[in-house]
Structure 1
């Protein structure tokens, strides 16, 4: 009730303030119709001038019936201009409002078309691949050929300052703490599995990717690396239009359909997309040497196996847009997402005990482990936004409601059959259904104080509610399963974040410097009922600023600072032991504190007359209470009175500080009219200082090259290569990875249709990934052979016309606020 009263109060206050700027009682009304068709013209522009001057007093647009009324006019003499695109302007001058004549009706205004008939409009515009804005970098995917039959991860590989490894882990400027959004809003689809979620979004559905390395006060403070916002395709043009995309390949199939209809002040858009990854077999091996406390015996543990996996997903949704009046917009969206990941595997295991002094074999236990996992996730996203625009341009009040309801189920089983030693067959099976509901309510207000100063403020409430139940059964010697009470549990986790911000956009010294600055406050409260989780709430004050100076019309520099945090998630906190692989376990740490990041960035951009452009950014980031993952080896690990031998346990801890210094470079150069080269280069050094652990200084880099060539009219070819170097972590080394792709596309039917061919790593069937881990009493090497070769065929078709009829508004239409007051 308090929030409802607050919203009603703000609406009343905004309307009162608006009314106070128009104290007069005069009124001018009329009707606008087409002189030829006699049909009313909606959204015709009616502008009131002080007669004899160019000063605009007031204005409005006609409604669907062609009617208009301008009220709140003081006594005086005015000039009235009635205009619309494609028609001759109609002038009424003078129009006098006085005490005795305060209600002026202009009657029916006939607008005459400036052309006999507008058959069609063809708009040709080439969107730049990269757009550098004061607060973000935008990567537009329209001409991305090599990702045309891929997924979101394939697109992200090309985005400046972003790197993606073979497992779908994403880093932004070398940081894995990244906040992901879809169309500026959070979704519970990312909470279940980020890598699976990014592989469920077809590249054909992505319009652009926004990289925000220094988010302002308007954005939620979560994510020390920054924010990546995936913007899906839409269309706000008048009329009916749509597109169909179909991709078939040796490893992946994609398909999507979009349909948009807009008539006057109401628009509807629907879409459906889906993809399927065929059965993919990854072979892997692990070799671990460990020592007991006295180091007189050696334990050698070896695993060798294969893991077939399959993925599938689909998404559908509808969005509605209604321009109630020229200054009141309502937007509603509904989306449903589903993806599944099914895997199985057979692993041969060999556990040997040897004397360290002589290498004498004391025991040799051989076994075969069979495992099955089935993961299903569903997410329903609902949002409702209202935007109130006032007389002054940029003066707005926004309300946003957004909810995401996620349901996911994980079913796993594993059995180990021993080949020697007369050990009985062991096994577990578990079912893990869970729900995650995330709701946000936000109010944002923008006030342009002057041409050089704009104030923004907002409040937000975010509620994240998750519950989980795990039922585990143990295999008995007679082949039946009984409940395992030590591995059966349930918990509820709730996190509320209340936030408020105040920011200002300004221009100083005759536009010598433009910038944004602000302060955000967040109150994080946590409630969890799992054992050992004494989680207290905490306050966060997050300042930020960005300063930009234009050296000339083609180049600029900017300096930014932002304070960020990384909140530990429920999976990081939950102390339950995951023993799906009894020799490689993981658990959470309920004592984790949020990681704090202080980020600085210096950027330079330059556009050249021939169409070339470059962007260079240097960054410095210092994290305290840095959250790092550590693996510890145990000869014997006792969990709930059960002993497990030769166990590697992985857990996250707050480990001192991490300092990162690096730079990134993007360049796009048209070598000739037909040949264009693009490159992304990123390099940096990361220092980890952790009490009780050896300090680590690690240099890493990432580079890629994209070459596109127009073979002939409407026939384009592209080659893309990407390399990520290896990097040392506290107790492990991340492997390097290289991948490449080639593509060709032919457009026809006046560029409304196209056919494309894509090859990914065509000359390499597998990528070999070698990773090392180590600790005080163990050394481990793992090898994976990941299948990467694929070929694909893509067909796309656009239909419908883009009509500019009876709509004076910008055809991009109203947009939802990026993230409202927060997350």
Structure 2
């Protein structure tokens, strides 16, 4: 049925495109259109397409007059190509003709009838400019000479900002949070920024959820990284908040994107220098629980651009937890009580080097290298008491040193060739490799503090992938866009682990009850897609497409044991429809199917027993889950307030679900009463929800924004019953979250911001994860000429941190876990920019690889923008 519907839509769209409904200039405005429009259809990137004036607001009288001229940049003197020139009737102030400048900045308007006119010049990145009125008589040939267009500095947020830019923008296929307008997250990392983004929530461990689902894909500048594939939470801690320009949330990705990410795609866009010259930015911060230092430089001259950056962050946090649990082992209840304290000392670093070069006027080459490092060291003390009925079985005190270390390298080389405006072909390549070390070293102490035993776990993993991708797009007329392409991903996971134990002497030997193990996991993906966009004359936008992905898997455990994991293929359709309504409102509807492949840690068979009461182990035989998504949303602007509301639904089969089972020491090698957490494809999830958010400007200098998110989730799966057989269990619940932020611009360069966030209890298959909240307050003072700033921010400064309570229940276990994070913080931030800069027109970048296909742990994508409704496009 879906295939027939897609075929019908494509057929109707192509037929309508061939009929070419001729639309008036007064309806659609000049080329360049409104923000969010597709290339070739009046979108923001459609700055190079000439306009065919087939009809106007008033009939254009014909004559033999002519006007010529040359458009140049007022600063550099370079020609401004493909800018819009509108011929305006002085009496009616309406456009009656128009054209665009050519590749050398020249323009010409011919066959002009006698009359009084003026010209209006416009182009993205420049201020609109009007000529003086002039008179055309019969046979007049008027040369306007060189017309200098001044740069619109308001579009360069890193140079001079006049007024307040919108913190939240909604485009046809995504929501954009402009993070560079958020001052309280400075000195933090990407997880601090994502807490402020509508529809997203971030838990205490840094795991990100979109509308209640952690099945998302996180991209950085439209590109994946193997460190993200290993752990989204870890990757976010490596990205400095000061370098994030915006966060894009795509809840209904088109066929162009990889089919992964059941709930959607999050694309983190870092700041890019579009200036000309040599610059150096310094970002520093000192706080009670974190300090950071970043240096970023760039050089741009002629056809070559070079950027070099480095960032480091040190953190120091305390945390404590209590655990009360009861498990049934062999039909007997085992009660466990544990108190733990921890001190975290993580270090994060990121270093980047990038080049871009214009091979020719219509060809460009881009290369980037990124190196990231993570050194997470935790010292933990665990006091555990185990009881059978009311009798004390054992009491142990463990001093644990955990080391989660990683280093990642991402290299990409991208080429793009433009044949004509918005007709282009690109080739993108990427190599990514991450090395992961997850070790712990534990001393088991007696009641008087003497060493009684020692334990050590060594776990080394390598995750690497190679990607080759090619894409082609071409406009069909003025209201259609066709895109298609192919992609190949070769991915390899190599994991090795071993345990060592020792007695009271401390000498370590290999543990015979927990033998060494390994996993070799190869995954090869081939994909192809086609996507078609059509904008109708009555303000509808249709974007339909389909994508097919074939996944081949070969895996071995312990070097020789082959794992029977079947290959699979998936057809992934997508439909996006938007309609512009009266009063500037927009209505959107979407359907898509997504797949979710298991992530590295979900596959890793190494039992992680740093805390022997909560042991985690992956499952290398996991298969992907499939999700069908539907959503309807509406946005509108009422005076100074922007409102957006959406309802959505998700149905997931074969869901990858966390399952917790009690350990039996006779069979598992772990203490009786401990809990083993693993993953299985045994779940069904049904989710319905809604979200609403607003952004209002109370005055020109005072803005407030916020929103509420809520959903109802039903889950069903299998677990072990009291008789040892599998039983079906289910759970359901409602979760509500929200955020509120206010920004105030004061005199003499001062500004202030307050932010608050909360997330209610979150239902899980075997219980409920607890609620938590956070808040912050920040002030900032801009330095002279806005070359830098000094800021002061405080987080969770009332009380003594955050407490989160989690309850788990099943036929064999009952657990209450209370975590307390001492995250009160005060920090001072400092930024400064050195160097001379001048405006340079935006350069077309080569497309880059975007692997949106691996499930994150703990649970532009920036792609092609869609057509903007005609009513929202600017008029000349």
Q: Which residue of 1 aligns with 2:422?
A: 394
Q: Are residues 43 and 189 of structure 1, via their aligned partners in 2, closer, same or farther at CA, if it must alter by over 3 Å? A: farther
Q: Which residue of 1 aligns with 2:32?
A: none
Q: Which residue of 2 aligns with 1:104?
A: none
In 1, the alpha carbon distance for the partners of 2:339 and 2:328 equals 21
In the TM superposition, what is the alpha-carbon distance from 1:591 to its structure 2 partner?
3.7
Which of the residues 399, 405, 408 maps onto 2:433? 405
Q: Are residues 306 and 616 of structure 1, via their aligned partners in 2, closer, same or farther at CA, if it must alter by over 3 Å? A: same
Q: Are residues 572 and 411 of structure 1, via their aligned partners in 2, closer, same or farther at CA, if it must alter by over 3 Å? A: closer
Which of the residues 724, 745, 764 maps onto 2:780? 745
In 1, the alpha carbon distance for the partners of 2:197 and 2:218 equals 14
1:710-749, aligned counterparts within 5 Å? Answer: 710-749=745-784
In 2, the alpha carbon distance for the partners of 1:285 and 1:117 equals 63
Which of the residues 349, 359, 379 maps onto 2:408? 379
In the TM superposition, what is the alpha-carbon distance from 1:572 to its structure 2 partner?
2.1
In the TM superposition, what is the alpha-carbon distance from 1:719 to its structure 2 partner?
1.0
Q: Secondary structure at the match of 2:293?
A: strand
In the TM superposition, what is the alpha-carbon distance from 1:723 to its structure 2 partner?
0.8
Which of the residues 804, 817, 822 maps onto 2:847? 817
CA RMSD in angstroms, aligned pairs only: 3.4
1:142-153, aligned counterparts within 5 Å? Answer: 142-153=180-191
Q: Secondary structure at the match of 1:153?
A: helix
In the TM superposition, what is the alpha-carbon distance from 1:609 to its structure 2 partner?
4.4
Contact 2:661 2:676 in 1 (8 A): yes
In 2, the alpha carbon distance for the partners of 1:34 and 1:659 equals 57
Q: Does 1:472 align with 2:507?
A: no
Which of the residues 211, 228, 232 maps onto 1:194? 232
In the TM superposition, what is the alpha-carbon distance from 1:243 to its structure 2 partner?
2.2
Q: Does 1:762 align with 2:797?
A: yes
Q: Secondary structure at the match of 1:677?
A: strand
Contact 1:134 1:546 in 2 (8 A): no
Q: Are residues 479 and 249 of structure 1, via their aligned partners in 2, closer, same or farther at CA, if it must alter by over 3 Å? A: closer
Comparing 318-327 and 168-177, the one that deviates more: 318-327
In the TM superposition, what is the alpha-carbon distance from 1:41 to its structure 2 partner?
7.4
Aligned residues: 727
In the TM superposition, what is the alpha-carbon distance from 1:709 to its structure 2 partner?
2.1
Q: Does 1:416 align with 2:444?
A: yes
Which of the residues 367, 370, 387 maps onto 2:396? 367
Q: Secondary structure at the match of 2:188?
A: coil
Q: Does 1:630 align with 2:659?
A: yes
Contact 2:217 2:852 in 1 (8 A): no
Contact 1:499 1:822 in 2 (8 A): no
In the TM superposition, what is the alpha-carbon distance from 1:115 to its structure 2 partner?
7.3
Q: Which residue of 2 aligns with 1:670?
A: 697
1:771-794 CA-partner distances (Å, limit 9, x unpaired): 111221321111222111000011
Q: Are residues 272 and 591 of structure 1, via their aligned partners in 2, closer, same or farther at CA, if it must alter by over 3 Å? A: closer
TM (norm. structure 2) is: 0.77
Q: Which residue of 1 aligns with 2:135?
A: none
Q: Does 1:695 align with 2:725?
A: no
In 1, the alpha carbon distance for the partners of 2:178 and 2:665 equals 53
Q: Which residue of 1 aligns with 2:602?
A: 572
In the TM superposition, what is the alpha-carbon distance from 1:161 to its structure 2 partner?
0.7
1:364-415 CA-partner distances (Å, limit 9, x unpaired): 3211112111122111111111111112x21111111111121222331123
In the TM superposition, what is the alpha-carbon distance from 1:194 to its structure 2 partner?
2.2
Q: Secondary structure at the match of 2:842?
A: coil
Contact 1:88 1:114 in 2 (8 A): no
Q: Which residue of 2 aligns with 1:596?
A: 626
Q: Which residue of 2 aligns with 1:436?
A: 463
Q: Does 1:706 align with 2:741?
A: yes
In 1, the alpha carbon distance for the partners of 2:495 and 2:603 equals 14
In 1, the alpha carbon distance for the partners of 2:588 and 2:729 equals 37
In 1, the alpha carbon distance for the partners of 2:104 and 2:428 equals 26
Which of the residues 486, 508, 525 maps onto 1:497? 525
In the TM superposition, what is the alpha-carbon distance from 1:752 to its structure 2 partner?
2.1
Which of the residues 160, 168, 175 maps onto 2:198? 160
In 2, the alpha carbon distance for the partners of 1:190 and 1:388 equals 30
TM (norm. structure 1) is: 0.82
Which of the residues 561, 585, 588 maps onto 1:555? 585
In the TM superposition, what is the alpha-carbon distance from 1:527 to its structure 2 partner?
1.6
Q: Does 1:276 align with 2:311?
A: no
1:254-403, aligned counterparts within 5 Å? Answer: 254-278=292-316, 280-294=317-331, 297-354=332-389, 361=391, 363-391=392-420, 393-403=421-431
Q: Are residues 219 and 636 of structure 1, via their aligned partners in 2, closer, same or farther at CA, if it must alter by over 3 Å? A: same
Q: Does 1:452 align with 2:479?
A: yes
Contact 1:152 1:202 in 2 (8 A): yes
Q: Are residues 657 and 436 of structure 1, via their aligned partners in 2, closer, same or farther at CA, if it must alter by over 3 Å? A: same
In the TM superposition, what is the alpha-carbon distance from 1:699 to its structure 2 partner?
0.2
In the TM superposition, what is the alpha-carbon distance from 1:519 to its structure 2 partner?
0.3
1:324-368 CA-partner distances (Å, limit 9, x unpaired): 2221111111111111100121111111112xxxx5x3x432111
In the TM superposition, what is the alpha-carbon distance from 1:820 to its structure 2 partner?
5.4
Q: Which residue of 2 aligns with 1:785?
A: 820
In the TM superposition, what is the alpha-carbon distance from 1:484 to its structure 2 partner?
2.9
Q: Which residue of 2 aligns with 1:771?
A: 806
Contact 1:218 1:822 in 2 (8 A): no
In 1, the alpha carbon distance for the partners of 2:168 and 2:613 equals 47
In 2, the alpha carbon distance for the partners of 1:711 and 1:449 equals 49
Q: Are residues 477 and 250 of structure 1, via their aligned partners in 2, closer, same or farther at CA, if it must alter by over 3 Å? A: closer
Gapped runs of 5+ residues in structure 2? 1-68, 86-95, 107-121, 132-142, 719-726, 854-876
In 1, the alpha carbon distance for the partners of 2:502 and 2:603 equals 29
In 1, the alpha carbon distance for the partners of 2:80 and 2:245 equals 31
Q: Are residues 305 and 44 of structure 1, via their aligned partners in 2, closer, same or farther at CA, if it must alter by over 3 Å? A: closer
Q: Does 1:463 align with 2:490?
A: yes
Contact 2:273 2:298 in 1 (8 A): yes
Contact 2:329 2:673 in 1 (8 A): no
In the TM superposition, what is the alpha-carbon distance from 1:585 to its structure 2 partner?
1.8
Q: Are residues 142 and 88 of structure 1, via their aligned partners in 2, closer, same or farther at CA, if it must alter by over 3 Å? A: closer
Contact 1:726 1:735 in 2 (8 A): yes
Q: Secondary structure at the match of 2:765?
A: coil
Q: Which residue of 2 aligns with 1:645?
A: 672
Q: Secondary structure at the match of 1:571?
A: helix
In the TM superposition, what is the alpha-carbon distance from 1:55 to its structure 2 partner?
10
Q: Secondary structure at the match of 1:577?
A: coil
Name the structure, 1 or 2, with higher relative contact order (CA <8 Å, separation 6+). 2
Q: Which residue of 2 aligns with 1:686?
A: 713
Q: Are residues 777 and 45 of structure 1, via their aligned partners in 2, closer, same or farther at CA, if it must alter by over 3 Å? A: closer
In the TM superposition, what is the alpha-carbon distance from 1:755 to its structure 2 partner?
1.0
Contact 2:657 2:683 in 1 (8 A): no
Q: Are residues 115 and 690 of structure 1, via their aligned partners in 2, closer, same or farther at CA, if it must alter by over 3 Å? A: closer
In 1, the alpha carbon distance for the partners of 2:702 and 2:670 equals 64
Q: Which residue of 2 aligns with 1:28?
A: none
Contact 2:664 2:670 in 1 (8 A): no
In 2, the alpha carbon distance for the partners of 1:42 and 1:720 equals 44
Contact 2:415 2:847 in 1 (8 A): no
Q: Are residues 574 and 389 of structure 1, via their aligned partners in 2, closer, same or farther at CA, if it must alter by over 3 Å? A: same
In the TM superposition, what is the alpha-carbon distance from 1:759 to its structure 2 partner?
0.1
Q: Which residue of 2 aligns with 1:224?
A: 262
